[in-house]
């Protein structure tokens, strides 16, 4: 069976903010200017290996600050996306600033994301993938080259985010995080062991690079324990 043909390049090549085209949008995103650098959790920590709690409260200053902090933390770590449990917060939320394979930039956040179930055959692309919580190595992993994610913005308004190519990979990767899955969990056991061994060797260098970038950006660091101030009960998260 032949794969479906690749979609034509989009006619609207403007940056897409929260799924909607905008004439301009600064880089880094404005959220980063208000943010603080948070510690990134790493493979083996419990919060990365269990599903996150859904968001039930919206429009709060605390939620806005978390999103700001996550944007800055993502940029300092040179990531394309970052999930809340990667900064120690048990919440179904991720942020992203990622280009698709056609060079269209996508930037925003989404709470309680749900991936649309694929219909019919999917085109799978196997390219190198990495993770900020598995610092250092990358490995090839097959992902669908098109996906749609539905969820809410920080004020509780509905969002529909569509991604192709590398951005589709980003949306799937971050959604996996919120279900307690790392990309290495999708790899063969032998390859996963290799990645973990390389992470142990490269961790110190990656941390030093992140620290240097934070200093270059004049970034403020959150006080130890700030992430743990987030409520952990389902009703309050």
List the one residue out of 95, 112, 232, 108 whose CA is nearest residue 178. 112
Tokens found for residue 102? 């056609």
Strand partners, 114: 150
Residue 213 sits at φ, ψ, to 5 deg, of: -65, -40
Query: Do you find a cis peptide bond into 144, omega within 30 degrees of 0?
Result: no
Determine contact, residues 173/131, Cβ cutoff 8 Å: yes
Which position among 45, 57, 174, 194 bears the catalytic label?
Answer: 174
Q: What is the dihedral of CA 208, 212, 215, 216, to 10 degrees?
A: -170
45 is catalytic: no
Query: What's the N-to-C CA distance of the chain in angstroms?
Result: 45
Q: How far is CA 105 from CA 24, 195, 202, in A?
A: 11, 29, 30
Instruction: Give the three-state DSSP class for 17.
Output: strand
Q: What does the angle CA 76 – CA 80 – CA 85 come to, to the nearest 5 degrees?
A: 80
Could you list the active site residues? 174
């Amino acid at each position: 069976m032949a794969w479906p043909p690749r979609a034509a390049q989009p006619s609207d090549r403007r940056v897409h903010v929260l799924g909607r085209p905008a004439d301009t949008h600064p880089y880094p995103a404005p959220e980063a200017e208000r943010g603080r650098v948070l510690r990134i959790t790493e493979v083996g920590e419990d919060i990365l290996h269990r599903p996150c709690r859904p968001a039930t409260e919206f429009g709060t200053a605390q939620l806005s600050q978390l999103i700001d902090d996550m944007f800055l933390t993502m940029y300092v770590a040179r990531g394309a996306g970052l999930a809340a449990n990667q900064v120690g917060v048990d919440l179904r939320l991720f942020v992203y600033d990622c280009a698709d394979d056609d060079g269209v930039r996508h930037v925003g956040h989404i709470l309680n994301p749900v991936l649309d179930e694929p219909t019919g055959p999917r085109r799978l692309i196997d390219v190198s993938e990495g993770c900020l919580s598995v610092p250092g190595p990358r490995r090839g992993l097959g992902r669908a080259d098109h996906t749609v994610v539905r969820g809410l913005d920080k004020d509780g308004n509905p969002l529909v985010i569509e991604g192709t190519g590398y951005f589709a990979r980003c949306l799937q990767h971050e959604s996996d995080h919120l279900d307690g899955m790392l990309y290495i969990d999708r790899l063969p056991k032998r390859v996963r062991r290799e990645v973990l061994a390389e992470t142990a060797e490269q961790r110190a260098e990656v941390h030093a690079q992140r620290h240097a970038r934070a200093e270059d950006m004049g970034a403020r660091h959150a006080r130890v324990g700030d992430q743990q101030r987030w409520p952990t009960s389902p009703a309050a998260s």
